[in-house]
Amino acid sequence: MVDGFARFKDRSVVAMRVNGEVTDLATSITDDDVVEPVTIESPAGLSILRHSAAHVIAQAVQRVNPEAKLGIGPPITDGFYYDFDVVTPFTPEDLAAITKEAGRIVQAGQRFIRRVVTEEQARAELVSEPYKLELIGLKGAAATGDDNENVEVGGGELTIYDNVNPATGEVVWKDLCRGPHLPNTRMIGHGWALTRSAAAYWRGSEKNPQLQRIYGTAWPSKDQLREYQLQQEEAAKRDHRRLGAELDLFSFPEEIGSGLPVFHPRGGVIKREMEDYVRRRHIEEGFEYVSTPHVSKATLFETSGHLPYYADTMFPPMRLENSEYYLKAMNCPMQNLIFSSRGRSYRELPLRFFEFGTVYRYEKSGVVQGLTRVRGLTQDDSHSYVTEEQAPGEVEHLLNFVLSLLRDFGLEDFYLELSTRGSSDKFIGTDREWDDATTVLRRVAEASGLELVPDPGGAAFYGPKISVQARDAIGRTWQMSTIQYDFNQPARFGLEYTAADGSRQQPVMIHSAKFGSLERFFGVLIEHYAGAFPLWLSPVQVVGIPVAQEYEPYLHDIIDRLRRSGVRAELDTSDDRMQKKIRTHTKQKVPLLLIAGENDRAAGTVSFRYRDGSQENGVALANAARRIQAAIAGRLQVVSRGDLPA
């Protein structure tokens, strides 16, 4: 009998897979076992590292505050957390003290020792840990806990991990835990840090008490930690809320209300370019542009079925003239009324309506965030009315359209999510309808060749959906477009068309939002481009900078010519010096600076300065204008010399 320490001499091996199961290196193995190493750099190894770091933090917390009761402490993406029941929430000073204490524990090189216990033993040892006792109780009951809880009590048996002082053999701390763990705490090294603290509901339910959660990050090396921290800083620099203020794009006036943005002229330019382009593409794809009001009588949303489910996320109703009116939280009921405004023939199908519909949703005060979670938003919302036979083709058409549109805005990397019916009773319709609709969506999603992630229970109440998730320039994913298959609303609204045989048939309705919300997509684009938009979206595309005042008239001519051809071009006639003007407009991320002095005037040329500081001197005027216009029309990103085709 040997163990993993004997089998693997490589110190980057922190655990092993025995017959497929990840275990501690201390586990005994036989020649019959299939044993593979788990290195600290592997996904499983990183999880073990992070989970072990969580244990160290918990131990440190209880050293600093022996009254703290333990919740759970699982690994998460890039790090870990641990929940504690403490009388007063953690302060920054507390976190500093905990960090210091945890550093000592890491340095001490405590060993993690696994020990199988009976339920009685576990209850006796953890008598002062009420949350752990609750988890032990749950283990007896049906396994309903989520994955994070399984970190504590998953698997076939109850185990406790002892942290042992390697010098004395004394058990200094212990925790109910499934494991596995690093061989010792020293392997956590210098690649960890606490990142923040926040409250979290016990077992994720707002009916339960709130615990105080400490988040941390942990990496195999100090360099990887630093790299992670730099990446976080980069993300912070791209934050659309910050860039929105710096670039004068939008604001959230307190006087209007939380989550209700106003777009300034520069943000307005971008929003209008987005809308114009998206409207044009929809029309090219066979959609008809429609428009619907912002409020309606309550009965409309009773008909659609929304009200019973979503009344608490709609703004409260206004009562007037014996009717209740709601601000709309969705557009589909109104578009249905356009469909049913007259008799429809099968010859008209697929019938596709599209609008920029502004909807209002009463998001809870704690969730409103920048442009990504607002209370008033504009959906690029479309509804296709089709026969059942046409539905697969229409879904495919919509998916291809959505993807091509996102690509036009510079997003290239996608995966799909298929949200299906869950077990709750909020989902209306028969099993067969759900199965049929889900099958249609799944087939199209699979045929796309994109990665497909299941999302059980994530569907809207009226039908399943495909959502498109896009990765941005720094690898974060955002939910963008949705395509929803709806067999319920056509029935509720009594929609029908006359078929070829003269019979009345019910159409299938397919909801689709390409950007989800224009506001959110705007926010995503800001972060994706870090505020340096492609030429066609840039609020100011060209700024003319004279080397000295004398050259203003010369530059004015070309700027004026560009302007007349539709280019957003300005001439900087302020009394700043040239260098200052370059700085000002570079910080505003203007893609093209046109500079001219005596040399250029004498030669009838201008000089380009690009966003990255590179230059291109002596460009003939006619050439400059032609190239700029072509780059705008081609929706090119222009950052450096060479990005603007000759």
Partner RNA sequence: GCCGGCUUGGCGCAAUUGGUAGCGCACCGCUCUUGUAAAGCGGGGGUUGCGGGUUCGAGUCCCGCAGUCGGCUCCA
Binding site, annotated residues for Zn(2+): 332, 383, 511
CB of 551 to RNA, least distance (A): 8
- How far does the chain reach from its first CA to its final CA, in angstroms? 73
Comparing C-alpha atoms, which of 230, 193, 222, 195 is closest to residue 474? 230
CB of 213 to RNA, least distance (A): 5
Report the site for RNA in 540-559 (rule: CB under 7 A): 547-550
CB of 410 to RNA, least distance (A): 21
Contact pick of 96, 199, 453, 620 for RNA (by CB under 7 A)? 199
Number of C-alpha atoms within 13 angstroms, CB side, residue 106? 20
Beta bridge partners of 150: none
* Per CB under 7 A, 314 contacts RNA: yes
Contact pick of 472, 572, 600, 643 for RNA (by CB under 7 A)? 600
Whether the Cβ atoms of residue 213 and residue 198 lie closer than 8 Å to each other: yes
Q: Which stretch binds RNA (CB under 7 A): 38-46, 115-123, 177-185, 192-200?
A: 192-200
Exposed/middle/buried for 462, CB within 10 Å: 0-12, 13-18, 19+? buried
DSSP string, 24-41: ETTSEE-TTS-EEEEETT
* Per CB under 7 A, 212 contacts RNA: yes
Q: Give whole-number Cα distances, 248 to 98, 161, 270, 510, 544, in Å.
A: 41, 55, 12, 38, 20
Comparing C-alpha atoms, which of 384, 427, 408, 338 is closest to residue 513? 384
> The tokens of 19 are what?
């017959």
Q: Which stretch binds RNA (CB under 7 A): 63-71, 114-122, 308-316, 631-639?
A: 308-316
Nearer to RNA, 241 or 471 (CB): 241
Element (H, E) at 46: helix 43-64
Report the site for RNA in 3-22 (rule: CB under 7 A): none
Report the site for RNA in 415-474 (rule: CB under 7 A): 458, 460-461
List phi, psi (to 5°) of 529: -95, 0
Binding-site size, RNA (CB under 7 A): 72
Nearer to RNA, 159 or 488 (CB): 488
Nearer to RNA, 120 or 248 (CB): 248
Q: Give the other-Cβ count within 10 Å of 252's Cβ.
A: 19
CB of 260 to RNA, least distance (A): 8
The catalytic site residues sit at: 332, 361, 379, 381, 383, 465, 511
* The CA-based dihedral angle spanning residues 12, 16, 17, 22, taken in that order and rounded to the nearest 10 degrees: -100
Residue type at 21 in one-letter notation: E
CB of 100 to RNA, least distance (A): 20
* Per CB under 7 A, 316 contacts RNA: no
Contact pick of 231, 599, 623, 640 for RNA (by CB under 7 A)? 599
CB of 263 to RNA, least distance (A): 15
Q: Which stretch binds RNA (CB under 7 A): 278-286, 500-508, 558-566, 584-592?
A: 584-592
CA dihedral over 328, 331, 332, 337, signed as positive or negative: positive
Contact pick of 580, 640, 642, 645 for RNA (by CB under 7 A)? 580
Comparing C-alpha atoms, which of 286, 125, 102, 106 is closest to residue 194? 102
Report the site for RNA in 230-249 (rule: CB under 7 A): 241, 245-246
CB of 307 to RNA, least distance (A): 9
Separation CA 619–CA 621 (nearest Å): 6
Contact pick of 127, 587, 604, 626 for RNA (by CB under 7 A)? 587
Contact pick of 597, 625, 632, 643 for RNA (by CB under 7 A)? 597
CB of 128 to RNA, least distance (A): 23
Whether the Cβ atoms of residue 531 and residue 238 lie closer than 8 Å to each other: yes
Comparing C-alpha atoms, which of 263, 512, 250, 541 is closest to residue 405? 512
* Per CB under 7 A, 639 contacts RNA: no
* Per CB under 7 A, 576 contacts RNA: yes
Whether the Cβ atoms of residue 535 and residue 635 lie closer than 8 Å to each other: yes
Spell out, one character per residue from 133 to 172, where the chain touches RNA: x when CB under 7 A holds, - when not.
----------------------------------------
Q: Which stretch binds RNA (CB under 7 A): 174-182, 290-298, 342-350, 574-582?
A: 574-582
List phi, psi (to 5°) of 620: -60, 145
CA dihedral over 222, 223, 225, 226, signed as positive or negative: positive
Separation CA 549–CA 214 (nearest Å): 58
Contact pick of 19, 107, 258, 400 for RNA (by CB under 7 A)? 258
* Per CB under 7 A, 77 contacts RNA: no
Nearer to RNA, 237 or 577 (CB): 577
Contact pick of 19, 345, 565, 615 for RNA (by CB under 7 A)? 615
* Per CB under 7 A, 532 contacts RNA: no
Report the site for RNA in 468-527 (rule: CB under 7 A): 482, 484
DSSP string, 54-101: HHHHHHHHHHH-TTPEE----EETTEEEEEEE-SSPPPHHHHHHHHHH
* Per CB under 7 A, 364 contacts RNA: yes
Report the site for RNA in 365-424 (rule: CB under 7 A): 365-370, 373
Whether the Cβ atoms of residue 460 and residue 484 lie closer than 8 Å to each other: yes
Nearer to RNA, 162 or 552 (CB): 552
Report the site for RNA in 79-118 (rule: CB under 7 A): 89, 91
Nearer to RNA, 362 or 415 (CB): 362
CB of 498 to RNA, least distance (A): 29
